[in-house]
Structure 1
Amino acid sequence: MFYGGYGYHGSNFEQTYHCYPASFFDKPHLEGGDKVIMPPSALDRLASLHIEYPMLFELHNDATQRISHCGVLEFVAEEGMVIMPYWMMQNMLLQEGDTVHVKNATLPKGTYVKLQPHTTDFLDISNPKAILEKTLRNFSCLTTGDSIMVAYNNKQYYIDIVETKPASAVSIIETDCEVDFAPPLDYKEPEKPQQPIVPASKAPAEDQDANVKDEPKFKPFTGSGKRLDGKASKQQAPEVHSAALSAPSDSNKRANQQTAARASTGATNSTRQKTGKLVFGSSASNNKEPEKAPIKEDESPKKDESKFQAFTGKSYSLKR
């Protein structure tokens, strides 16, 4: 049970004080930590109790139901008063002279703390980790939901305690604690450069133009013809313009070109047959056999034997 005024109860320390900021008593060094100054009577009571060291306390504001935790630096305050850092009074929503309940507490050692700076200016410090470690040496405990103040280079930086483990309030005295940072409250993601939007009607046309430029130009039915006997060809196939073949709607031009190609092929075949050479795949040889000249009876067989006749003679078998 809690007794008002300056009474004590049982084996626990529990007291009500009027709070005032450190600036009222010329104690600016209090602003760099979480420790308070209590009256000498509190020391007498704590000495008679079996209190675990270091001494930690729970602060409670009945008007706003705000709870925080702190340590103690000295016992030199006037009776009925407690001197607190101003940033701690802001967390507790306390004004000068408001009452606050102080109770001794036992907190587990912290293993994990997640911090979130209010502004990105804190990250601009050359070595924010070293500054934070130096500042937290003056702290006894951390409470989830509080905003601590870090002073550096005549400037104050406020940092929120987002999360603590293994409890919502932990002790950070002589313990190895993992510290993690959340993005600052005023941090904004960098905007990605917007790419120009190309209308759908223009995009296919540009792609088609690019494809036309990249494709090599092809000219069909171009080149020179060669004879099988090695002699120069007297008649060349007429060149056909590729543009005429590429036009799908001009069927008359295609028919004329096919007719001209057939005529030129026929002329070449007839020319080759007149020279007496073998022409493989000739249409003339397949359709009609060449007429043989009548053999005169008075010609001597010796003259006939001297001439070479193709595909004549004896046949031999590979088997013996």
Structure 2
Amino acid sequence: MFFPGRYGYRGSNFEQTYRCYPASSFNKPHLEAGDKVIMPQSALERLSSLHIQYPMLFELHNGATERISHCGVLEFVAEEGTIIMPCWMMQNMLLQEGDIVRVKSATLPKGTFVKLQPHTTDFLDISNPKAILEKTLRNFSCLTAGGTIMVAYNNKQYYIDIVEAKPASAVCIIETDCEVDFAPPLDYKEPEKPQRPVVPARKAISEDQDANVEDEPKFKPFTGSAKRLDGRSSEQAPEVASATVPARSAPTDSDKRENKRAAAPSGASTSTRQRTGKLVFGSSASNKKEAQAQKEPAV
């Protein structure tokens, strides 16, 4: 329902259009430290007749750019038809001096979580940015996701984006415990990883070949296990040092006769040789008999 009048109020809600002007034009620099505006006396009269919840919160709408933000009110001393706003708020809403802005009363839930993103990394270089932020937000009534706030410290202005807000896109931060999280600053750059030196192709191939050669098993002389001719273990020490036997050709008739004599039992010496298990090529007794037979003349 629309009530006709010079201020255009609608039903039980407050809604009015004003021409906006920056706080610097009216010598009110203290407005820059928060999100509160100064409205005319007629707005207070109308708000008093409505059932407006406290604290008084308002939605600001720039119809030319469709930018929306929220604010509180500090005083009702502005000239009729005008509203005085912080400069950073006008910049955030893309408003110029004398532009038309629509002001509407709003009810916002208590904020439980906000995510902030500084524009520059130098904000994190402050000795205690959390304390500075808490002190600044005491002058704010609400926060709107997608908007930007300004934090003044040590004669310098730091701009911070409102990336996210819960439980709604616009929340009230008066008398509430709100969790705050930070996103990396807009100008933050990841540290560059050290690059590995580029190795020429020929050098890389030669290095791979050298690595392969080193991995191959090398020949080690005089390794392995030994075996004996008599079948006994090589770890058992021999009773008599063995002599090197030269390779022989096919056995002759005399060799066969000597082998037969050696194989026949001939007393204690033969039994001793069988017990030791060694290879014997002839005996001293048979050698003497053969020598005497050669000396005697044939009959």
TM range (shorter): 0.7 to 0.9
Specify whether residues 53 and 78 from structure 1 end up closer, same or farther in structure 2 by C-alpha distance, changes over 3 A only.
Answer: same
2:153 matched to 1:190? Answer: no
Normalised by the size of structure 2, how large is the TM-score? 0.75
> Cα deviation per residue 1:142-169 (whole Å; 9 max; x = unaligned)?
1111111011111101111111122111
Match of 2:91 in 1: 90
Residue 57 (structure 1) shift = 0.5
| CA RMSD between the two structures | 3.3
Match of 1:278 in 2: none
Letter in 1 for 2:27: D
Query: Does the 8 A contact of 2:3 with 2:11 survive in 1?
Result: no
Residue 22 (structure 1) shift = 0.8
Specify whether residues 102 and 202 from structure 1 end up closer, same or farther in structure 2 by C-alpha distance, changes over 3 A only.
Answer: same
What secondary structure does 1:75 align onto? strand
What secondary structure does 1:42 align onto? helix
2:267 matched to 1:304? Answer: yes
Match of 2:135 in 1: 134
Match of 1:12 in 2: 13
Letter in 2 for 1:304: G
**Gapped regions of structure 2 (runs ≥ 5):** 227-233, 249-255, 276-299
What is the CA–CA distance in structure 1 between the aligned matches of 2:185 and 2:140, rounded to whole Å? Answer: 22
Letter in 2 for 1:134: K
Query: Does the 8 A contact of 2:144 with 2:170 survive in 1?
Result: yes
Match of 1:293 in 2: 261
Letter in 2 for 1:166: P
What is the CA–CA distance in structure 1 between the aligned matches of 2:206 and 2:91, rounded to whole Å? Answer: 66
Letter in 2 for 1:93: L
What is the CA–CA distance in structure 2 between the aligned matches of 1:175 and 1:155, rounded to whole Å? Answer: 28
What is the CA–CA distance in structure 2 between the aligned matches of 1:289 and 1:49, rounded to whole Å? Answer: 145
What secondary structure does 1:38 align onto? strand
> Cα deviation per residue 1:11-68 (whole Å; 9 max; x = unaligned)?
1111221211111111111101100011122111111111100000011122222211
> Cα deviation per residue 1:253-281 (whole Å; 9 max; x = unaligned)?
xxxxxxxxxxxxx53x88xxxxxxxxxxx
Q: Matches of residues 1-320 of structure 1 in structure 2 within 5 Å?
A: 1=2, 5-210=6-211, 212=213, 218-221=219-222, 229=238, 267=246, 291-293=259-261, 304=267, 308-309=271-272, 311=274
Residue 232 (structure 1) shift = 5.5
What is the CA–CA distance in structure 2 between the aligned matches of 1:100 and 1:295, rounded to whole Å? Answer: 133
What is the CA–CA distance in structure 2 between the aligned matches of 1:198 and 1:118, rounded to whole Å? Answer: 41
> Cα deviation per residue 1:208-257 (whole Å; 9 max; x = unaligned)?
3245457785343589x99953556666xxxxxxxxxxxxxxxxxxxxxx
What is the CA–CA distance in structure 2 between the aligned matches of 1:212 and 1:295, rounded to whole Å? Answer: 57
Aligned length: 258
Query: Does the 8 A contact of 1:120 with 1:187 survive in 2?
Result: yes
Match of 1:254 in 2: none
Identity over aligned pairs, percent:
76
